[in-house]
Amino acid sequence: MSNFSALGTGLSALVAHRQAAEVISHNIANANTEGYSRRRVELRAEGPDPVAAVFSHSSHTGTGVRSDGIARIRDDFLEAQHRNETGIAGTLEGTATVLDRLERSFPEPSDTGIAAQLDDMWASWQAIVNNPESEAARSAVLEKGKLVIQSFQLADRQIRAQHGDAVTNVGLQVTKVNQLADQIAHYNSGIRAASVAGLSPNDLLDQRDQAVLELTRLTGATVQAGDNGSVDVFVGGRALVYRSDVQHLVSAEVDDPALDPLGFKRVEVHWEIDDSVADLTTGTIAGYASGANEVLPKYLGQLDAVAEQLVTSVNTLHSTGNDLDGDTGHDFFDAAGTTAATLALSADVAGQPRHLAAADASAGPLDTSLAQSIAAIGRATAGPDASYRSMIVALGSEVQFFTQQSDVQNSVVQRLDEDRKSVSGVNLDEEMVALIAEQHAYSAAARVITTVDEMLDTLINRMGVVGR
């Protein structure tokens, strides 16, 4: 036990508390940083110096305080929960976005949607009844027919554009996933190197975990702890990031016989290295992919079915009727155009209102019973209008369901985020109090050194000067 050991103790206190104050200021500076976990200096009381002797003993006086490193306060279980629910939220976000945009292509109920155009067309068939000899009334039917065709084609174009957007989004997100995977691998190698050297790479850990969270939102990835603080990220059961190695993903469009009739390809995510399919079931990518592969084709198929029903039901009646010249056998719609995209007036009637058949085959050309039968298609319980209505109701219900689910899931994620931040988040008041405590501890340690200095001064300068 030397005279100067108290100085050493005081010095250790100054160093430790200064370091603690630095950590606190780091916390405060990062109070709003997303993904930051608060740090705390681990202080440990230092025991007495050992004395080399046959029977070693010490004076049992401690020699101050040491810092054991900077701990990162974080609850891994809460983090894992938050991550998992974020993945699910991503899926719902993807699907809900696709459905929301799809719904905007069908503005019902309104005066501008397909239903209103169909209503107007049936009414124009009724109007012929009042003026069967008038070519103007027949031209009006052709014009209304064209409006119906245009509204179907518009809806078709919009759905196809949305499909293209969803596929593009998948591609963009896969690129982001690859970037994030590269970052995580990079962080992993830094973390492993630092851990092996005995350092605490806390900032790298925070940034890596933030990247993992973003990745999980996109892909629903699972995470396992690797060696030396690194993590391995698994997507669809295969490793995306393993230690410092990365396997990239790539988005691909493959043929799918179910989607061929619509002219779509199936969008999938493949492993770049061997082109096998990456099984993504959660995450935003999965949401958009299911939107492109299932939701949009489903509704486009239903729209096409309505178009086909329209063409068939009108043509079946129309071709049996007589036109103004007494001829029969004309089609109203082009029989080859049975999808929303190919819907068209037949060459027989386009621009030729006289060829519109309003009369029954057994009556004179000014008969209008056929026109009335065609107009009655509009209120048939199994007709195209009824099918369109069911489609709209189904679409509205699905959008409502996914929007609600997405909202609910977002609240769940938010609550879990609050839970994990209750452990790892920075509370400014708490940090201020801790800072004041460190400040006092620092002042006290400085005072101790001053006191010891005065004691030594007494010893050195004022001992043995009697009589001088």
Partner 1 sequence: MANRVATNAAINRISSDLTRTFNRMSDVQSQISSGRRLQRPSDDPSKVANAMEERATRRRLEQYTANATDASGWLKATDDTLVALQEQAAQAKARATSAVNGGTSAATRQAIAADIENIRSSMLQLANATYQGRSLFAGTAAVAQAYTASGTYDGDDGAVSRTIDEGVTLQVNVHGTEVFGAADTADPLAGDLFQVLGAMADAARSGSSTAMAAASGALDGAIDRMSEAQIRVGGAAVQVDTTIGRNELVMLDVKERLSSIEDVDLAEAIISLRSDEASYQAALGVTARVIQPSLLDFLR
Counting residues that bind partner 1 (by CB under 8 A) gives 64
Q: H/E element holding 391?
A: helix 384-424
In the complex, minimum distance from the CB of residue 23 to partner 1, in angstroms, rounded to a whole number: 17
Using the rule CB under 8 A, is 92 a contact of partner 1?
no
Using the rule CB under 8 A, is 405 a contact of partner 1?
no
Using the rule CB under 8 A, is 378 a contact of partner 1?
yes
Using the rule CB under 8 A, is 79 a contact of partner 1?
no
Q: Given candidates 168, 313, 342, 369, which one binds partner 1 under the rule CB under 8 A?
A: 369
Q: Which whole-number Å values give the CA distances from 283 to 219, 405, 417, in the listed order?
A: 4, 14, 18
Using the rule CB under 8 A, is 116 a contact of partner 1?
yes
Long-range contacts of 178-181 (CB under 8 A, 24+ apart): 178/246, 178/248, 178/249, 180/211, 180/214, 180/215, 180/218, 181/215, 181/233, 181/240, 181/241, 181/246, 181/247, 181/248
Using the rule CB under 8 A, is 406 a contact of partner 1?
no
In the complex, minimum distance from the CB of residue 396 to partner 1, in angstroms, rounded to a whole number: 3
Q: Are 287 and 92 in contact (CB under 8 A)?
A: yes
Rounded to whole angstroms, the Cα distance separating 115 from 109 reads 8
Rounded to whole angstroms, the Cα distance separating 182 from 241 reads 8
Using the rule CB under 8 A, is 98 a contact of partner 1?
no
- Which residues, other chains included, contact 234 with Cβ-Cβ below 8 Å and sequence gap of 6+? 221, 222, 223, 224, 240
In the complex, minimum distance from the CB of residue 34 to partner 1, in angstroms, rounded to a whole number: 8
Q: Given the complex with partner 1, which of 104 and 157 has the nearer CB atom?
A: 104
Q: Given candidates 161, 393, 444, 459, which one binds partner 1 under the rule CB under 8 A?
A: 393
Q: Are 406 and 89 in contact (CB under 8 A)?
A: yes
In the complex, minimum distance from the CB of residue 466 to partner 1, in angstroms, rounded to a whole number: 48
Q: Given candidates 3, 422, 451, 458, which one binds partner 1 under the rule CB under 8 A?
A: 422
Q: Which whole-number Å values give the CA distances from 152 to 96, 158, 302, 353, in the listed order?
A: 24, 10, 12, 22
State which of positions 32-51 bind partner 1 (CB under 8 A): 32
State which of positions 182-211 bind partner 1 (CB under 8 A): none
Contact region for partner 1 (CB under 8 A) — 39-47, 210-218, 280-288, 385-393?
385-393
Q: Given the complex with partner 1, which of 386 and 448 has the nearer CB atom?
A: 386
Using the rule CB under 8 A, is 63 a contact of partner 1?
no
Two tokens, residue 209: 């975990």
DSSP 292: I
Using the rule CB under 8 A, is 131 a contact of partner 1?
yes
Using the rule CB under 8 A, is 112 a contact of partner 1?
no
The DSSP result for 205-255, as a single string, is HHHHHHHHHHHHHHH--EEEE-GGG-EEEEETTEEEEETTEE--EEEEEE-
Tokens 């029989």 locate to 335
In the complex, minimum distance from the CB of residue 203 to partner 1, in angstroms, rounded to a whole number: 17
Name the site residues for partner 1 (rule: CB under 8 A): 31-32, 103-104, 106-109, 115-116, 119-120, 122-123, 126-127, 129-134, 324, 359, 363-369, 372, 375, 378-379, 385, 389-390, 392-397, 399-400, 403, 414, 417-419, 421-430, 432-433, 436
